[in-house]
Amino acid sequence: MKSNIPLVLFLLVLSAGCRQDAGRATAEEAPKTVEEYTQAIIREVQKVILSTNQQLQDGAPEQLSLPAETGQPARTLQLWAEAGNPVKLTSTVGNGRENSSFYFANGELFFASHADANFIFIGPELKYWLDGEWKPVQRTEAERRQMQKELLEQAESYLGRFSK
């Protein structure tokens, strides 16, 4: 399985940061407002997630079953990795419903989703908090920092289970 995730992320940053019209009538116009810029980033991340899922559909993930813990249901973790680096990690609760997904590029979390929310990271920082329909959600800085901490810790905790 060959991954183009680092290349795709590089192109994401490049295209979001500086789009140029090469004289083509159909060229996409560069974002001019914060909202347009945000929507361009969201569309690119959606494309990366779709592409990653397509690349991984034929690969068999590593799988771990975690027993129920106090206040937590039983959970199944699945990890798709390439060359020792995580690419995608899912957590499924006992009823078979996926409740979180984490996507990585070069071992670094860049996207996470829960049942009704999506989160885009740039570097180690949560930059975009989105609802289940990929619409930006306004949160306080304290809420954003807390969610960032929780997501990074959760991803690290789940990944750590695979290295045991």
pLDDT in tens, 54-105: 999 988 999 999 888 777 778 899 999 998 899 999 999 866 666 899 999 9
Lowest-pLDDT choice from 9-13, 26-30, 103-107: 9-13
Average pLDDT over residues 105-115: 93
| Mean pLDDT along residues 131-140 | 95
The pLDDT of residue 104 is 97
- Check whether 11 has a pLDDT greater than 60: no
pLDDT of residue 98: 65
Q: Judge whether 28 and 19 are in contact, CB under 8 Å.
A: yes
For 100-115, give one letter per residue: b (16+ CB within 10 A) or e.
bbbbbbeeebbbbbbe
Return the H-helix or E-strand segment holding 98. Answer: strand 98-105
Supply 46's token pair: 């959606």
Question: What integer pLDDT is reported at residue 27 of this predicted model?
Answer: 57
Is the pLDDT at 16 greater than 50, yes or no?
no
Residue 15 has pLDDT above 90, yes or no: no
Least confident range of 19-23, 59-63, 132-136, 142-146: 19-23
Residue 114 exposure: Cα atoms within 13 Å on the Cβ side: 11
pTM score: 0.80
**Does the pLDDT at position 25 exceed 60?**
no
The answer to whether 99 touches 84, Cβ cutoff 8 Å, is no
Give the residue, 93 or 35, on which the prediction is more confident.
35
